[in-house]
Each structure stands twice: as C-alpha cells, then as structure tokens.
Amino acid sequence: MDEERVLAEEKQPPEKTRATFAEWCMEWMETIVVAFVAVTMVFTFAARVITVEGISMEPTYFDGDRVLVTKLAGEARQGDVVIVVHALQETIIKRVVATEGQTVDFDQQSGELLVDGLPLKGEEFGIENGITFLPDRPGQVMEFPQQVPEGCVFVLGDNRMHSTDSRYVEVGMVDRRNILGRVVFNLMPFSKAGFVG
C-alpha cells in the first residue's frame, strides 16, 4: 500500500517553475513603471535639476550651468544658494546673505554689505570684495537699514552690479515658503561637478 502511494506521488506532474514569456514581460513592465513613478516623485518633490539663466550669479554660476536643488537639505542658511519662486515673473537663483532678525545695510564707501553692523565681505562667498552697492534707483530700491522679518531671508546675486535681488522693492524680503530649495550639487559643467559647500 505504501509502495502504491509513493508511485502515485511520483507520477504527479512537477509544479510549473518557469513563467511564460507574457508573465515575464508583465513583471518587467511593473518594475519599469514603479521605477519611473519613484524617479518622477523624487524629481517632483525631493529634488529638481535647474538650469541657470542669466548672469546674476557669476562668477559662481554662469548661464547654462545645471544644478541639483532640494528642499530636503534643510532650511536655507546664510551663504546658501537657493532657487526662489514668485519673487519675479521668472524663477531666480540667489545667495542668502541674511536671515530672520538680522539687520541689513550697505556701506556705500567700502562697497560692502553690512549684516548686524558688521561687513560681510564678498570673499566669504568666493567673490570680490567691495562690489556690493545699493543701486541709485529711487522708488525701485528699498530703504536701508532693514531688519529681516520672521520667516524671510534676504538674498543677493553674486554678480552684484547685474542682479535684481532683495535690494529691489519688486523682490524685497523673500518668504521662506517661496524657496524651491537649496543648491546641493553642481551637475554641469562637468569641470565644476560635485557637492556644494
């Protein structure tokens, strides 16, 4: 009897171990779709590739340079380069030079930015000293000194003579909610590729 049971078990067909070609294709399609959705989510909510337009951040960034920007790097601090939306008609790239509670002013004699009464020289950010002036454009430029309100930052372009930034009424103090993210990685040109800071 035991022999009959063993023989009967041996005669059963083996389990199907190989998937059909259609099943294999479906598994690959699922993998590709999941990967595509994950990458899309990352680049929509976690990080974005931004192409620099214009000359306002020279010599740090030139027209056509590409950078990786993320909000996951934490709140923007003094010295960080950020992408700002809703300040002008176009998205802008600028450097945070003062944060909440700090007082901003300009020394027209030395061409330096003053933060809380102390000069913040250009060399701090890898640019020239003595190039930060308050433009002579009555009605278009804010009056200084100014204290940065809570929840805001004060931004400048590194190319101080050719930058529409927080000195101008149309930009003013930038609400942190309008910061798309911090620049964390230089992508192009390849000669400058690498993490920032």
pLDDT tens, position by position, 32-46: 877 777 666 665 556
H/E stretch holding 104 reads: strand 103-107
Total-model pTM = 0.77
pLDDT at 11: 54
Instruction: State whether residue 4 is helix, strand or coil.
Output: helix
* Cα 129 from Cα 120, distance rounded (Å): 9
Active-site residue list:
56
Amino acid in the structure at residue 78: Q
With b for 16 or more beta-carbon neighbours within 10 A and e for fewer, the 147-179 pattern comes to ebeeebbbbbbbbbeebbbbbbeebbbbebeeb
Residue 39 is encoded by which pair of tokens? 């990458």
* 47 neighbors 69 (Cβ within 8 angstroms): yes
* 153 neighbors 99 (Cβ within 8 angstroms): yes
Q: Between 15 and 139, whose confidence is greater?
A: 139
pLDDT at 4: 52
Alpha helices by DSSP H, listed for the chain, are 2-11, 21-41
pLDDT at 27: 85
Amino acid in the structure at residue 91: T
Q: Between 29 and 177, whose confidence is greater?
A: 177
Q: How many CA atoms lie within 13 A of 192 on its CB side?
A: 17
